[in-house]
Amino acid sequence: AQSVTQLDSHVSVSEGTPVLLRCNYSSSYSPSLFWYVQHPNKGLQLLLKYTSAATLVKGINGFEAEFKKSETSFHLTKPSAHMSDAAEYFCVVSAPGRLVFGQGTRLTINP
Amino acid sequence: GAVVSQHPSWVICKSGTSVKIECRSLDFQATTMFWYRQFPKQSLMLMATSNEGSKATYEQGVEKDKFLINHASLTLSTLTVTSAHPEDSSFYICSATPPGQGIGYNSPLHFGNGTRLTVT
């Protein structure tokens, strides 16, 4: 079965510093992995996706993620946080006919 | 890009009444749409898979008689919360994938902006 674990429920960083949101996955076959962002009372927006091509995936708004099969990880990073990055982030793994969501990580940006 | 529209964005209703939420794919036809429920500070929980022209597939523990889903056309799925109670208050989100991209494996879903339901 497919599952995903986001290791931090809340991450707080200062504006201009790096962001790291951690995600580990479990899948019985080669997975497709996604990161989505959700701003308050909004739907989800796709940041980036991994689909067995390059292991380093670049997304929108300066985010990127690296697929590490040996570590079953798909951590999301950004070199320099911006105030507008404050939101909820979801790591997602594909399963037959559906997506499986992590519990989410709330990112807070301190001025 | 693919756009999914959800309406209303928020609704307040009295206990015992029914509420209908619409999910539309604006620039593509969607044979399959998904309905999620999200409690405060929690992740999305898949409620049901809506299939055009056939019955919806409900997840375990979701009452199909309470959460009626109708997918009458390739661009519209509706979720009706019947006889709503305060515990039904939640954030409901729909999603869909453009045709030809498959479901789940390497195709990200496109999400509506959600509907905040408050039952008083």
Say if residue B105's pLDDT is above 50: no
The percentage of chain B sitting over the pLDDT mark of 70, rounded to a whole number, equals: 91
Chain A touched by B116 (CB under 8 Å): yes
Point out the residue among B41, B104, B113 whose CB comes nearest to the CB of A99: B104
Alpha-carbon distance of B27 to B75, in angstroms, equals 9
Alpha-carbon distance of B108 to A27, in angstroms, equals 17
Are the CB atoms for B101 and B118 separated by under 8 Å? Answer: no
* pLDDT value, residue B43: 87
Range B52-74 average pLDDT = 92
How do residues A27-76 score in pLDDT, each as one tens digit?
877 788 999 999 987 888 989 989 877 899 999 999 999 999 999 999 99
Chain A touched by B111 (CB under 8 Å): yes
Are the CB atoms for A52 and A30 separated by under 8 Å? Answer: yes
Burial of B69 (0-12, 13-18, 19+ CB in 10 A): buried
Say if residue A95's pLDDT is above 60: yes
Point out the residue among A34, A45, A104 whose CB comes nearest to the CB of B43: A104
